[in-house]
């Protein structure tokens, strides 16, 4: 008996077992490196506070992206339409996120065997220089709240916050997002606000000045998650676009959709107004992505190639 040949066969068998247990399938001759980790890319390369981050994975044949995580929040991937092997996710960098370098991870299912593989990556977040805004609201009851108003605001805040903490629904949005209304630029996203000489919360959306009664359109396909008349936001509509993306439309003069209704991109959801705490007719358009407050401009700036 050839002991040397037997030893060599035993070594090869042992090596193949280790290969499977690590979750990477060994390629057969002529198949190439099927078990190699997929390529992870993102744009912008160094996102700023308040930006939308696009992450995509170029997987090899048979691989699928199961899940991911960044900043202790989930990444929701979906197969890219018309781009075989690519998986896309949009992620929100909150306006108050501390700048620095952060590690993320993606769980990839390999084509052979039940084992997955964890792929890690590192992203640097840069600071954004948000400006300042000072203005006066004549109605002081909208600035210094009564006991009753405070109780109302607290209740409304809890109702709205429950949207961000809910489990993300299936993706409903399709392609690039639209600007909901035509008009002149108003208060920009992220401005540090001083109202009647007192420091208040930073502006978490973008304002578009437009005549009262002008139609406001859904920025993308989605489900009406919440409608109501709120102390600060006035008559408002919240759309759930799935995969953690919400858009909101504040200070409307009229709401033209109902809760639970599915609306299509460009469909009218309400009319421009100045309800709630507003100094003139305009639309406050806000975006939440994975609960993060992000600049709507960084969402609508995406092209068809991103999706």
Could you tell me where in the chain the CATH 2.70.70.10 domains are found? 132-306
Q: Are 112 and 25 in contact (CB under 8 A)?
A: yes
Question: Mean pLDDT over residues 200-224, rounded?
Answer: 93
pLDDT tens-digit series, residues 71-100: 999 999 988 877 888 999 999 999 999 999
Could you tell me where in the chain the CATH 2.60.40 domains are found? 3-125
Give the max Cα distance, the chain. 100
Confidence of residue 264 (pLDDT cuts 50, 70, 90): very high
The CA distances from residue 113 to 12, 41, 129, in Å, are 19, 26, 49
pLDDT of residue 83: 82
Residue with the bigger pLDDT between 185 and 62: it is: 185
**How far is residue 113 CA from its own chain's centroid?**
32
Q: Which CATH class is domain 132-306?
A: mainly beta
- Strand 198-199 to 192-195 pairing: antiparallel
Mean pLDDT for all residues in the chain: 83
Nearby residues of 196 by Cβ (< 8 Å), 6 or more positions away: 136, 137, 140, 143
**Quick check: 240 pLDDT over 70?**
yes
134-148 burial, b if ≥16 CB within 10 A, otherwise e? eeeeeeeebeeeeee
Confidence of residue 5 (pLDDT cuts 50, 70, 90): very low
CATH code reported for the domain at 3-125: 2.60.40
The total number of residues written for the chain in this structure? 307
Question: Mean pLDDT over residues 25-47, rounded?
Answer: 64
Structure token digits, residue 293: 């407050």
pLDDT tens-digit series, residues 213-226: 999 999 999 999 99
**Quick check: 190 pLDDT over 60?**
yes
| Of 45-54, 170-179, 228-237, minimum mean pLDDT range | 170-179
**Quick check: 66 pLDDT over 90?**
no
- Beta-bridge mates of residue 121: 104
The number of beta carbons lying within 10 Å of the beta carbon of residue 217 is 19
234-263 burial, b if ≥16 CB within 10 A, otherwise e? bbbbbbbbbbbbbbbbbbbbbbbbeeeeeb
Structure token digits, residue 80: 């890219």
């Amino acid at each position: 008996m050839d002991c040397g040949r037997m030893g060599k066969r035993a070594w090869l068998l042992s090596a193949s077992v280790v290969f499977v247990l690590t979750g990477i399938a060994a390629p057969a001759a002529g198949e190439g490196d099927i078990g190699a980790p997929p390529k992870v890319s993102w744009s912008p390369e160094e996102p700023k506070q308040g930006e939308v981050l696009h992450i995509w994975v170029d997987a090899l044949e048979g691989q699928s992206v199961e899940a991911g995580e960044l900043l202790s929040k989930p990444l929701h991937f979906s197969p890219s339409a018309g781009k075989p092997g690519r998986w896309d996710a949009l992620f929100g960098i909150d306006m108050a996120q501390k700048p620095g370098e952060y590690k993320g991870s993606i769980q990839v299912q390999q084509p052979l065997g039940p084992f997955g593989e964890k792929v890690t990556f590192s992203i640097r977040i840069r600071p954004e220089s948000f400006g300042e805004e000072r203005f006066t609201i004549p109605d002081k009851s909208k600035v210094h709240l009564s006991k009753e108003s405070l109780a109302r605001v607290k209740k409304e805040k809890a109702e709205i916050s429950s949207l961000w903490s809910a489990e993300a629904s299936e993706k409903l949005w399709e392609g690039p997002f639209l600007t909901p209304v035509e008009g002149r630029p108003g208060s920009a996203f992220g401005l540090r606000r001083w109202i009647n000489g007192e420091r208040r919360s930073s502006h978490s959306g973008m304002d578009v000045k437009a005549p009262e009664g002008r139609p406001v359109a859904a920025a993308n396909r989605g489900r009406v998650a919440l409608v109501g008349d709120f102390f600060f936001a006035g008559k408002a509509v919240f759309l759930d676009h799935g995969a953690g993306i919400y858009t909101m439309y504040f200070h409307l003069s009229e709401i033209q959709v109902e809760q639970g209704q599915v609306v299509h991109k460009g469909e009218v959801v309400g009319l421009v107004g100045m309800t709630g705490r507003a100094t003139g007719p305009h639309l406050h358009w806000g975006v939440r992505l994975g609960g993060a407050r992000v600049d709507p401009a960084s969402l609508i700036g995406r092209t068809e190639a991103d999706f």
